[in-house]
Structure 1
Amino acid sequence: MAETYRVAKLPIRMRGFVDPDTNAQFEGYVEPGTYFVLEERSGPAGSDSDYARLEVPTLGALDTWICVRWRAQQYATLADQEKPAPAVRLPFSDEPMAVPEEKLVSLLGGVSEFRYDLDQAYYPWTLPGIRVPLGPPSFNNCCTFVEALTVRAFADVHGDSFAWDARRHRQMMIASSEDLFSPVTAAVESGMAILAPSPDVSPHPWTLIQGWRAPWRSGHTFLIVDHHPATDKVLVLESNCAHGLDGVGFRGIGNLRDKGLQPPAEWWKKPEVWTWRQLCATYLHRQQAWLKVKNRSWSRLSPTDP
């Protein structure tokens, strides 16, 4: 029998409370979306109401109570949902456009000293087909980091067989509201990646994610180097100014300039490392592209077995 977990589907923005009572302390708003349920309770005596405690990583306490029903009014739907199976780990060994993992890793030294600045972003090197501002100063943001690393790697390996231009660059920068997941589109259309079967499947090694905390604000572009199915932990590589980072590094672990260019041994056992479930609950709206990366060993997980 498939493993399931309880979820709450919120069609509207709702208020979150410290306790299962609308008279309790207000904690913050919970945006429309699907959330994991940690606990269910009836409301105070005589209130004819039901409450659920949700996992909400965007709130300071990481969880909150919402009123799912008051009398005949249903505010949210509770349901059992199957836990996604681990992604089939594709080797990409016969894929003409694949790049060896060591190429991506070898480039990280060129971005390891970069610090995060949303508005003042520079590149460590030139990219084919476009003009980009080169550092110093050594500042970047999430979009420029992912573009610099992936495009340089594929261009170095494939030369003229790999094409990049101003249109693809604008997609990586999400320059148009017509496609709010355009970094994923750019990675797929350029041949660097394949589109994941769905936004909710477990991530593949070297997955590019475009996520939004709410439609359509607080967006973030980042890479998942690997997923450890038994613990659900994900090794997130990103440029950020949160989660223990000021620049390029691993979420919950630290900056590359401080921790070095190798993931820690047994990174999936570290409590600060996020789970895929936490990421899904944070970036409620997301798409993923699986980069064509072969000869994988950097994460210390099996290249082919979940």
Structure 2
Amino acid sequence: MKGALPEFPCLESRLFQDWTFNGGSWHNGPRKGELIPVKNTAPGQIVILTTRRPDQSEGERQIIGAYEIGKIDAQYNLTATPNNRIRLTKQQSELLPFWRYFRNAKPGMEWKTGLFRYLKPEQVHTILTDMATVCGETRAGAAAEALLVKHFSGTQPAPPAGALKGKLPAGKEAAIARKYPGGEGPDHLALKEWVAHNPAAVGLPRNSKYDLEHLFTSGDCVDILFTLPTGQFAVVEIETRFPFPGAHQAIKYRALQAAARSWRLSDNRVTAILVAWDFDASTLQFCRRYNIETWKCRSGSAGTRIKTQT
């Protein structure tokens, strides 16, 4: 903006203060200046709030909040109920791209004109489910859960069916974001993908099937879960320079996979493997104590199993 800041420049400027929104007004034509009614809604229905920054493309539009409508006045203002108002953080919004859930009648991700779109109940259900997963044990997560219970209790959400393809499920993206708060390093990613596509490099059958960043019900995700031809499993944790934290992670993931199969936590049908560029003596001693295989490996070459000694 140039010059003095207007007292009320736009609806968005006070959105999370007033918790109200409307369809705006006509800018051109014979109805210029008239309010645009939001007809297909009513108190008790849910508003999903989205935005994109000026430097983002339309395909990068994000969901930034939600609320349940408490009242609609003569100016078509959709005002929130006092409860279950959801304002997402920047990090949470980045995990909820709008076009994952919505598609136009014609191909493409274009908003074009107008301030609102109508969503189907199943789309709202899926969005709130992913919102609750992404937000976890926060006020926003609790509000999303409350709306789910009130409006969709007892039913399973449909998978996202929007125009945006190739995105990981929101729950897995959230787990990866927690696991790598500063982003996954290129060396770690290269080694992880090398091992996933070359299981023989760490002593596993060549035809083992992999799942990168396998997500457990707990919200944890292991770097690689291998399903072996025998029906057994291997959880593989990848480290590069500092392997000791990964040894603890490997113990956790082995137990989680056993629990997912309703097996004893010590069941030998789940093998724990720690892969790193190199190992120090204390990490090797720890892995021996807790029966974790240790493999010295770099991307592009076969690994060498390090035999742990007493």
TM-score over 0.5 for the pair = no
- The normalised TM-score by structure 1 is 0.21
More helix, by proportion: 2
More strand, by proportion: 1
Q: Which has the higher contact order (CA 8 A, sep 6+)?
A: 1
Which of 1 and 2 has greater Rg?
2
- The normalised TM-score by structure 2 is 0.20
